[in-house]
């Protein structure tokens, strides 16, 4: 069952496992918010979770939405905040699988809120909506 509600600073949409926070925060701020108020930024470990993300992200107010996905540049790999390696992939062409220049900026993973809702690599300083997991 979906519930939409308004608080003082933002509107959010939730399903049984995920909650979209329509507040524009950096990746680190979003991570802190999710850990303080829910469980964590969402980690996508399966097609089922990706389908849930795709359903929730349609209501975002930003072109992309933070996921719990971060790049360990020195090892050229992406990990979930849960500590698991990325096994299920949904990268947009040119994102995620190519080595980043580690000296330029730290990169984090987001999902496009429109189109085919693929994962993209963004500078962690971008301010985006985000999805928290509830369990």
- Full set of structural domains in the chain with CATH: 3-133 (3.10.100.10)
- The reported pTM is 0.84
Tell me the percentage of the chain whose pLDDT exceeds 90. 53
Query: Residue 129 above 80 pLDDT?
Result: yes
Q: Using CA atoms in the order 33, 97, 89, 49, what is the torsion angle rounded to 10 degrees? A: 10
Q: Which helix (H) or strand (E) holds 3?
A: strand 3-6
pLDDT grade, residue 20 (50/70/90)?
A: very high
Q: What is the pLDDT of residues 43-83, one digit of tens each?
A: 998 889 999 999 999 999 999 999 999 987 777 788 899 88
CA atoms in the 13 A half-sphere facing the CB of 87: 7
């Amino acid at each position: 069952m979906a519930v939409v509600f308004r608080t003082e600073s933002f509107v959010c949409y939730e399903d049984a496992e995920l909650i979209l926070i329509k507040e524009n925060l950096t990746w680190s701020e979003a991570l802190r918010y999710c850990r303080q108020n829910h469980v964590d930024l969402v980690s996508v470990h399966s097609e089922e979770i990706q389908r849930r993300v795709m359903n929730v992200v349609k209501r975002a107010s930003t072109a992309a939405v933070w996921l719990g996905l971060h790049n360990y540049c020195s090892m050229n790999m992406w990990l979930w905040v849960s500590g698991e390696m990325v096994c299920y992939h949904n990268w947009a062409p040119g994102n995620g699988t190519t080595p980043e220049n580690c000296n330029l900026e730290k990169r984090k993973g987001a999902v496009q809120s429109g189109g085919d809702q693929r994962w993209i690599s963004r500078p962690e300083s971008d301010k985006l909506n985000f999805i928290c997991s509830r369990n």
